[in-house]
Amino acid sequence: PGESDNRNQQKMEMKVWDPDNPLTDRQIDQFLVVARAVGTFARALDCSSSIRQPSLHMSAAAASRDITLFHAMDTLQRNGYDLAKAMSTLVPQGGPVLCRDEMEEWSASEAMLFEEALEKYGKDFNDIRQDFLPWKSLASIVQFYYMWKTTDRYIQQVI
């Protein structure tokens, strides 16, 4: 206290979760269940989501991925761990908040092209982009790869 801080604050890390928050583990778990339900509902209302995730089961699975849970935890933290405020943030005036990750931004045909390219080029993402998916950014392809590795499709190809 009392000393000046000459560090560049833009480059400093930001606290995104306080383990000493006032909520119990049960309350946090309940909020995450609500956040997944809101995510499923948001996908049901979104026309492009219903095309990509045509069944409720697939929508619920998409809503259970990390992007939804990270958003929920961030929402709790930004609202001072006040459950009522956090709930209001999940479902603002215009409707439920929809968080998507790279897996949802890709169509089934793009995913199949990616798998074909991966078989041909391995992890040479530049060649994959150049020859198979030129409309996708390199960052999008790399992010998709790491998410794709967690799917059953990846496991089937490895076996």
Q: Return the amino acid letter for 64.
A: S
Q: Is residue 139 in some structural domain?
A: yes
The predicted-structure confidence for 37-58, as pLDDT tens digits, reads as follows 888 788 777 766 444 555 555 5
Which residue, 100, 122, 144, sits at the end of a domain?
100
b (16+ CB within 10 A) / e for 16-37: eeeeeeebeeeebeebbebbbe
Which residue, 79, 100, 121, sits at the end of a domain?
100
Q: Is residue 65 in some structural domain?
A: yes
CATH number at residue 154: 1.10.10.60
Are 128 and 77 within one domain? no
The predicted-structure confidence for 67-113, as pLDDT tens digits, reads as follows 788 889 999 999 999 999 999 998 888 878 777 666 667 777 888 89
Query: How far is residue 48's CA from residue 57's CA, in Å, rounded to a whole number?
Result: 16
Q: Which domain, by its residues, includes 113? A: 104-158
The model's pTM is 0.56
State the total domains in the chain.
2
Query: How far is residue 25's CA from residue 98's CA, in Å, rounded to a whole number?
Result: 25
